[in-house]
Amino acid sequence: MFIIVLSCVFANVLNLSPSGVNAVTHPYCNISIKNDFNDRPPLLIATKFNRTDFVLPTTSSEIINVKEGNFIGVFCPGSNVTLSDVPIRENLTRLECRYDKFYLHNGTSVNFATIACSKSLKSVAQYTGKSCLKRYKEFEIGYRYQRDFLTLIRGCFDKVHKITLYTVSAITKAINYAKFAIPRKAYWSKGSFFAGVRINRAYIRSNQRNVINRQVGLSNQNSTKYISENDNIYYLSRGHLTPKTDFIYGPHQDVTFHFLNAVPQWQLLNGGNWKILEKTLRDLASSRGIDLNIYTGISGILSFRHEKTGRSTELYLHLGDRRKRIPVPKFVWKIAYDSANNKGIAFVGVNNPYLNGNYSKVKICANVCFSASYLHFKKNYGKYGYVYCCKVDEFRRKISTVPDEVARGLDLLT
């Protein structure tokens, strides 16, 4: 099973060839997430058993502990490492912990808070060469390191309809000490994944209004019946599958701003109970001291009634000459998996702000939200969106876009 968090946490066992230092008076060098990172932080990496991965805190703390005599890698892909804004003309350097201080390879003592990258880092998205859900393409988003790829988000992409079906990510127990160093971005990276589709235009509100009105047969293509003019509720946002705030470091948060990580999600849901759910899971990981593996995906295609024929009409954001692309999901779903305790829970967000109270028609499982005391959704679903909970096994029997790697026979995460 591919588990991101549990494979990343090497902070207390960094093993990049100890130097033989025997002093034990100060067994650790400490890095404070809140105080020692600036606006252009490097990637922190370590190698263990010939595998390189990111360094994260190993406890519910904002302190990263590096053992006496061990090394930590400071990496600035596409940039240079700087000390007090002075470049050292390389994108990777190693720091050794000696007597509770970090040292460069030349013996110079370094204050970690003075380390930065010469410019902001840019993450990379690429196909892995593997298939997913039998007929789709697996991708990963992260950073290239020498011959390795350091993955933060993995997902499954439908190349035909230009939509991501699910992503896999993780929330560390130290998440509430995150350094939210980067703001939300106006520009998202599309790479080469959306050839033939003007993906930026697809999410512009005026385009949504025009395209949806055409599909449902509204004679006035500028009608605001479904897509409003300027309120913050009735339009389709670039809904993050993996939210930026699920990551601790700024460069890690950057990986979420790829269109591969976005689906058309009504803002009423995205900024309402779905946002509450995302924060709830971060708080749960932090308060219980557990790492959570997170699967987030979509299912079905939202349909509205055609104004003239009365038929149910599926909605897309791109109407090509031969094929419709970027379907509007009927459901957005999420699974939280606590592997250490073999527990999990599934959530279903109904991606339709026009249900008018007909919630029974969109239930695919028995709602078990009442069993999870940590959940506190807003009850005004017409204002905040409708989200309910399922047992994972029952959920996966109903939803075809859940990857096979999701564990079976889980106890409910209550």
Mean pLDDT of 248-277: 96
- 352 is an annotated ligand-binding site residue: no
Report residue 21's pLDDT band, with 50, 70 and 90 as the boundaries.
Answer: very low
The C-alpha atoms of residue 52 and residue 46 are separated, in whole angstroms, by: 6
Mark whether 143 and 44 lie in a shared domain: no
Which candidate in 26, 240, 258, 306 is catalytic? Answer: 240
**Domain end: 53, 85, 117, which one?**
117
| % of the chain residues with pLDDT over 90 | 76
pLDDT digits (tens, 9 = 90+) for 190-240: 999 999 999 999 999 999 999 999 999 998 989 999 999 888 899 999 999
280 and 195 within one domain: yes
- Whether 206 and 271 map to the same domain: the answer is yes
- Which of 83, 117, 151 is the C-terminal boundary of a domain? 117
Do 343 and 245 sit in the same domain of this protein? yes
Do 233 and 367 belong to one domain? Answer: yes
pLDDT tens-place string over residues 108-121: 999 999 999 999 89
Q: What is the pLDDT of residue 223?
A: 94
pLDDT in tens, 290-318: 999 999 999 999 999 999 999 999 999 99
Give the structural domain span for 63. Answer: 4-117
Give all strands (DSSP E) within 84-211, no chain letters.
86-87, 92-98, 101-103, 109-110, 115-117, 124-132, 136-145, 148-158, 163-171
Q: What is the pTM for the complete model shown?
A: 0.91
Could you confirm whether 318 is annotated as catalytic?
Answer: no
Give the span between the Cα atoms of 390 and 336, in whole angstroms.
Answer: 11
Cα 224 to the chain's mean position, in Å? 32
pLDDT surpassing 90 at residue 16 = no
- Give the range among 42-56, 210-224, 314-328, 342-356 with minimum mean pLDDT: 42-56
Same domain, 187 and 76: no
Q: Say yes or no: 143 and 61 in one domain.
A: no
Tally of structural domains, the chain:
2
Residue 400 has pLDDT above 90, yes or no: yes
Residues 113 and 183 in one domain: no
